[in-house]
Amino acid sequence: MKINLIVIGKLKEDYLRSACAEYVKRLSRYCTFEMHELDECRLSDNPSGKEIETALQKESVQIKKYAKGMIIPMCIEGKQLSSVKFSEKISSAGVNGFSTVTFIIGSSFGLAPEIKSMGSFKLSMSEMTFPHQLARVMLLEQIYRAFQIAEGGKYHK
């Protein structure tokens, strides 16, 4: 299986990069992993709705280049899952004919509606708001946990 992670923006803090690198290393045992860090559109300090819409549209053009397989956009209106249910969702990808699962994390303004509609499933990590950079680490940890659960590993206990 291949896990594809598309993110808008780059990680700035070393500790977050280190955490991501650790989970990517752990994931190598279970899957082929690919991350695409795409440029975030620059906006004014107080952007209008139109400016935000235009930025999301530009970002969506970049995202579409890498989105394939079972697409799971991360968005606030998505469904929240337990770690076990999340593991089942990833495991079901192969049964449903997908060899690739693509997760998409947008910018602080989210994702364009067309990207959300590409998803076979929309996922929300929580009703709480997290920095997008931290959400990346949290998602990688949950993907690793999902593989551990599917394998019956001790990590989840």
Q: What is the pLDDT of residues 53-97, one digit of tens each?
A: 999 999 999 999 999 999 999 999 999 999 999 999 999 998 899
* Partner residues linked to 74 by β-bridges: 105, 123
Q: Which one-letter amino acid corresponds to residue 118?
A: M
133: helix, strand or coil: helix
Closest CA to 81 of 18, 142, 157: 142
Q: Once rounded to an integer, what is the mean pLDDT over residues 115-129? A: 93
Report if residue 156 sits inside a domain: no
- CATH code (residue 142): 3.40.1280.10
Exposure class string for 11-27: b at 16+ Cβ within 10 A, else e: beeeeeeebbeebbebb
Work out how many domains the chain is built from and give that number.
1
Which pLDDT value is given to residue 155? 79
Range of the domain at 14: 2-42+49-151
What does the pLDDT look like over 10-61, one tens digit per residue?
Answer: 998 999 999 999 999 999 999 999 999 999 999 989 999 999 999 999 999 9
Report if residue 157 sits inside a domain: no
Report if residue 22 sits inside a domain: yes
Closest CA to 139 of 110, 102, 99: 102
Report if residue 105 sits inside a domain: yes
pLDDT category of residue 154 using cuts at 50, 70 and 90: confident
152: helix, strand or coil: coil
Q: Is the pLDDT of residue 137 over 80?
A: yes
Report if residue 76 sits inside a domain: yes
For residue 130, the 8-state DSSP code is -
